[in-house]
Structure 1
């Protein structure tokens, strides 16, 4: 095999592997975005129906101790939401429990 042919074969193989990884990564991101959108919609439906999502006891413990930042961290760990969504959720929980923030 000519060295140029070997070089082209290696480059083609690397390109094919990179394309496959890129496609898999794109599918994964798309699935994550769809799941996040579905979770947001479910949260809205639950809020509309007045159904409270179960709250991790650690979140409640932090709120009762006045540690809002730790409660937000615990909520994010539990749910995987963004910082803004977690802060809003923790604020709603505190309001429902009539706790000072």
Structure 2
């Protein structure tokens, strides 16, 4: 009787190990697929000259810069970040240079 319970326990442990490694393999496969998609997207963006917005810069600041409204972009930046006029001006000018919007 002890052998039967040991065999059942062993079978359960083997099943748990197999199912755990299957999930891990699926997660690894998904991570590789995601990395491949990100690489392709980066190539497409580079080809089209599209740049990702700066994490610290509100999207509206870039919109104002692209529309040629630098003063409005500075105001939006100040409102969003609560920085002074000089810091906002410097940050907006840096963004304009980075994105070729001068």
> Taking structure 1 as the reference length, what is the TM-score of the superposition?
0.54
Deviation at 1:94, TM superposition (A): 7.0
Q: How far, CA to CA, are the matches of 2:47 and 2:98 in structure 1?
A: 20
Report Cα offsets for 1:26-59 as digits up to 9, x if no partner.
1110011001111111111011xxxx57x8xx61
Q: How does 1:1-101 map to 2 (within 5 A)?
A: 2-47=4-49, 52=50, 59-61=59-61, 64=73, 65-66=76-77, 91=95, 95-98=99-102
C-alpha RMSD over aligned residues: 3.3
SS in 2 for 1:66: helix
Moved over 6 A (4+): none
- Bigger Rg, which one: 2
Q: How far, CA to CA, are the matches of 1:16 and 1:32 in structure 2?
A: 24
Unaligned runs of 5+ in 2: 65-72, 82-94
